[in-house]
Amino acid sequence: MTALDKYARLEGSGVWRAGPDEQRRDVVVSLGDSSLIIADTKSGQALSHWSLPAVVRMNKGTRPAVYTPLSDGDSETLELDDALLIEALETIRAALSPKPPMRWLRLGLGAGVVALALAGFLWLPGVLVARTAAIVPEAARVQIGREALDMIFESASSERVCADPDGRQSLATLRNRVLGSDWRVVVMTGIPGLEAAHLPGQLIVLGDALVSRLDSPEALAGYLLAEAQARAATDPLLDLLSAAGTRATLTLLTTGTLPEDSLRGYAIQRLQRPAALPRATALGEALDQIGVSPLPYAMSLPEGRQALSQALADRPAQPRAAERLLSDGEWLTVQAICAH
């Protein structure tokens, strides 16, 4: 009996939100052959279908469990508190998500790249790392970033992604206005020293302590842009592979996966680094483009970054947006995103 057979036609209740601006509603959740079906509790009408292999859990280890479809980014969410349904969903997701060589690897690697891998393993580790990072497509980077984040949850039970629905909605609004919808931004609690960091796949991780101490969304915008600029300057996958070493890089190149120890070690040390230190001119120009003053960010910088703070404060004043990035109420929900 497979995992799919064991849990075939299992149903349970949940709470579904169709999008950031939609109301939460009670629903019936059914598990199909390879999909999750969300239906209205009264009429039985199907409201949404999710592909099970694409479903992502936002708060591993915490109840109620919060899920979102990978292809949908921050739009739909589903909360489940039924232990059997959660167990079934986790089991089926694991069964449908094996780790064979990735399609991009099978299609993209020819004899020349294999020869380069062997040569790099023996003589040119820097070339091997650089070449591997260069051929990994964005979809695979997104998966690597998510897996790196998941590895953190296995090291200590206190670590979690904060998933208050109102806070996530407001954070998604801020992200869209500052970075665009291609990015994913999450807030985590339980990571000592975490301020702001980025992982492969346009993924920015914020520490709950940073979000709590900032005075405004405009200040947080500076941290988001700083991480985005750091990501543009240095490929985070190149950083990961350099830290993982030649053997782990060769494993990725030949199997499509990275060793779990390499992912876990990199993710933990990456999130504990200081937040990115941007160039004042570049960050100031990026803030100008969204109509935000650099002063809130400059005033929030910790000791040791006085030079950057002063350089931003000394920039000539620019026209500012008439509206704030978030209302006061929305900003409060972001700061309370870890409350539940």
DSSP letters along 115-161, please? Answer: HHHHHHHHT-HHHHHHHHHHH--HHHHHHHHHHHHHHHHTT-TT-EE
Q: Are residues 84 and 156 in the same domain?
A: no
Q: Are residues 156 and 285 in the same domain?
A: yes
pLDDT of residue 124: 58
Q: What phi, psi does 141 have (nearest 5°)?
A: -65, -40
Domain that holds residue 195: 138-335
Are 223 and 277 within one domain?
A: yes
Same domain, 271 and 331: yes
pLDDT of residue 140: 84
- In 157-259, where does DSSP find H-type helix? 165-178, 208-213, 217-233, 236-244, 246-255
Sheet with 65-69, edge to edge strand ranges:
46-51, 35-40, 24-31, 11-17, 77-80, 65-69, 55-57
In a domain, 106, yes or no: no
The answer to whether position 117 is within a domain reads no
Query: How many domains in the chain?
Result: 2
Q: How far is 188 from 148, CA to CA, in rounded Å?
A: 14
Q: How far apart are CA 189 and CA 338, in angstroms?
A: 7
The residue from 70, 96, 122 where one domain ends is 96
Rg (CA), the chain: 22
Q: Note the pLDDT of residue 110.
A: 46
For residue 181, is it within any domain? Answer: yes
In a domain, 109, yes or no: no
- Tell me, yes or no, whether 187 lies in a domain: yes
> What local confidence, expressed as pLDDT, does residue 1 receive?
44
Average pLDDT by stretches of 10, the chain with 340 residues = 59 85 87 82 85 79 80 72 84 64 47 50 67 84 86 67 86 93 90 92 94 96 96 92 87 83 87 91 93 94 90 83 86 90
For residues 280 and 205, state if they share a domain: yes
Q: Is residue 311 domain-shared with residue 190, that is, in the same domain?
A: yes
Which residue, 68, 96, 124, sits at the end of a domain? Answer: 96
- Encode 259-297: b = buried (16+ Cβ within 10 Å), e = exposed: eeebbbbbbbebbeeebbebebeebbebbbeebbbbbbb
Residue 311 domain flag: yes
User: What is the model's pLDDT at position 104?
Assistant: 47
Question: What pLDDT does residue 174 have?
Answer: 95
Last residue of a domain, one of 64, 96, 128: 96
- State whether 253 and 325 are in the same domain: yes
Indicate whether 198 and 322 sit together in one domain.
yes
How far is residue 242 from each of residues 25, 114, 129, 144, measured CA to CA in Å? 46, 19, 7, 15
Classify residue 114: in a domain, yes or no: no
Residue 163 belongs to some domain of the structure: yes
Q: Are residues 284 and 204 in the same domain?
A: yes
CB burial class (10 A; 0-12, 13-18, 19+) of residue 32? middle
